[in-house]
Amino acid sequence: MDAFSLVYQHLNAWVIAPVTQQFLGIFNLNGRFGVLFLCASYGVAYGLFRFRKHRRLTDARSFWQFIGGSQVYLHRSALLDYRYYFVRAILKIALVLPIVHLVDPYILRSGDYSAFFSNLWGARPRLGENLSLALFYGLGVFLVKDFVHYWAHRAFHSRWLWAFHKVHHSAPVLVPATASRVHFVEKIVEKLGITACLGLFAGGFWYACGGEISRYTLFGVTYLVFIFNSLAANLRHTHVWLSFGPVLEHVLNSPAQHQIHHSDAPRHFNRNFGVNLSLWDWMFGTLYVTRSQPEHLRFGTGEQDHQRYLTVYSLIVTPFVETARKCLPTFSYPGQHATMHATPAIGSVSAETREAERNPARNAHEFLQEAPRFVEKS
């Protein structure tokens, strides 16, 4: 094999194939960004637009303006999210999967737990597979994954992990692709946590049923995930306010609740960590419910962070730099001192206070102010 063929082989395996697969993923039903789910979400948004326009609850002259227009979807941050969506596929092949596979052999799997319970309590009679059992198992898988997501999300709001999660929160505007603006370290921790917890749950469930059980799926994904993705899940990372009301929001996480989570207002800090369910927020004291009247929100973590996270490179590298600064107080990076002594923007004191309440461990000079305001008007 000549050098050119070897280079192409590696380029295809590490770049071309992952990016192509990521693009084609838009046309299948295995992920939230499928065309069907995007159309369903914006169909709901259009219905909201017509309803609010009829009742004169919005100043938007068109649907495009109602969802944010070019100032949102062509914003520099949004364009970065679109690029990162494809770069993330390369990171998955190059870093996430190799690291997960490195640790994976040391994680107990469902078969290990099932065998352990059998040795401990003896074998159980085999239950025949049926639809009810498959639905119940699928419900359990959904609940376990959502529960792990909740606690992993909370963990990444802590002092030592915040720098990695801030990659997601630094976006001053929200578009569906912002959901993929997640640092690969967070994805690794999340995958390992879900693998470990699902292994325990599945092993226990299989033991109780006397053998392996298949979960009920729709188009290759757990049926509840498919249902939630169909119900306007992509509006969570948009400027379209959709509240489920204070009663239902004690169980289900609405798009408005997740927008509250991205808000820079102190009353919204450390609220609504849930992904599909807000039940966990209710149980563990982090719930914030919304109403049909839109709240005026600003997103992001401040102008300084907005300027710091302008490239794909900065999204990947900056969290390591910030974490190193916390671990090694003498650590610095080019431009740090110039930033520290820069003249603060007007109103920066209140913005520093906001970030201090969100994460007291950060130095005040790291946060200035003014992420763009929430687009929806009432």
Token pair of 225 as six digits: 């995930």
When pLDDT is cut at 50, 70 and 90, the band that residue 29 belongs to is confident
Q: Is the dihedral of CA 321, 324, 326, 330 positive or negative?
A: negative
- Rounded to an integer, the average pLDDT of 131-152 is 94
Rounded mean pLDDT of the chain?
Answer: 85
Single pTM value for the model: 0.83
Is the pLDDT score of 375 beyond 50?
A: no
HSE (side-chain half, CA atoms, 13 Å) at 179: 17
Note the pLDDT tens digit of each residue in 58-100.
999 999 999 999 999 999 999 999 999 999 999 999 899 999 9
Do the beta carbons of residue 187 and residue 87 sit within 8 Å?
no
As a whole-number percent, the residues of the chain with pLDDT over 70 amount to 87
Q: How is the chain split among helix, strand and coil, in percent rounded to 5?
A: 60, 5, 35
Is the pLDDT score of 287 beyond 60?
A: yes
Q: What size, in residues, is the chain?
A: 378
Where is pLDDT greater, at 353 or 206?
A: 206
**For residues 290 and 245, what is the distance between their CA atoms, to the nearest angstrom?**
6
Question: Quick one: angle between helices 110-121 and 184-209, nearest 10?
Answer: 30
What does the pLDDT read at residue 331? 59
What does the pLDDT read at residue 374? 38
- What backbone torsions phi and psi does residue 305 show, to the nearest 5 degrees? -65, -35
Do the beta carbons of residue 291 and residue 340 sit within 8 Å?
no
**For residues 178 and 167, what is the distance between their CA atoms, to the nearest angstrom?**
10
HSE (side-chain half, CA atoms, 13 Å) at 98: 6
Q: Which residue has the tokens 């609504």?
A: 272
Give the list of residues 6+ apart from residue 159 with CB closer than 8 angstroms, or none. 326, 359, 361
What does the pLDDT read at residue 222? 80
Do the beta carbons of residue 178 and residue 81 sit within 8 Å?
yes
Strand-pairing partners, residue 298, are 373
Where is pLDDT greater, at 376 or 86?
A: 86
What does the pLDDT read at residue 143? 96
What distance lies between CA 216 and its chain's CA centroid? 25
**For residues 153 and 147, what is the distance between their CA atoms, to the nearest angstrom?**
10
Is the pLDDT score of 361 beyond 70?
A: no
| Number of Cβ within a 10 Å radius of residue 361 | 10
- What backbone torsions phi and psi does residue 222 show, to the nearest 5 degrees? -55, 135
What does the pLDDT read at residue 344? 29
